[in-house]
Amino acid sequence: QVQLVESGGGSVQAGGSLRLSCAASGYTYSTYCMGWFRQAPGKEREGVAAMHSDGSTSYADSVKGRFTISQDNAKNTLYLQMNSLKPDDTAMYYCAARYGVVPGGCRYYYALDYWGKGTLVIISS
């Protein structure tokens, strides 16, 4: 059974940084697409960044140049380094995954199958 567990959320001032982590377990596929999504109060969930197992990445325009998605295969962990944070980045952040994905089939806006429970990020002005 696939499990995704996020951590690293918190409250920081605008301009600060946070690094989110997503520990994955229970999967057997060697190819995958993993991503970060967020949902702010009163808004729809939106894709933020995604990464294929081949290392290719995809970002929403709103976070390009500020957020970096990465992975540590040895630790089965996905990261989201968030810099220059803005109050508009305040949201619940979710990690998600789909397995058995071919190269080129991973974009930040693609729907994924497995979800974590989220970690809350609050940015104060």
At 30-61, the pLDDT tens digits run 899 999 999 999 999 999 999 999 999 999 99
> pLDDT category, 65, cuts 50, 70, 90?
very high
User: pLDDT tens digits, residue range 4-20?
Assistant: 999 999 999 999 999 99
Residue 8 in tokens: 């690293």
Distance separating alpha carbons of residues 76 and 89, to the nearest angstrom: 26
Q: What is the predicted pLDDT for the residue at 61?
A: 98
pLDDT of 103 over the 90 cut: no
Q: Which residues have a Cβ under 8 Å from the Cβ of 20 and sit 6 or more positions away?
A: 6, 7, 8, 9, 36, 79, 80, 82, 93, 95, 119, 121
Q: What is the predicted pLDDT for the residue at 121?
A: 98
pLDDT of 86 over the 80 cut: yes
Residue 49 in tokens: 């960044």
Looking at the DSSP assignment, which residues form a beta bridge with residue 33? 52, 98
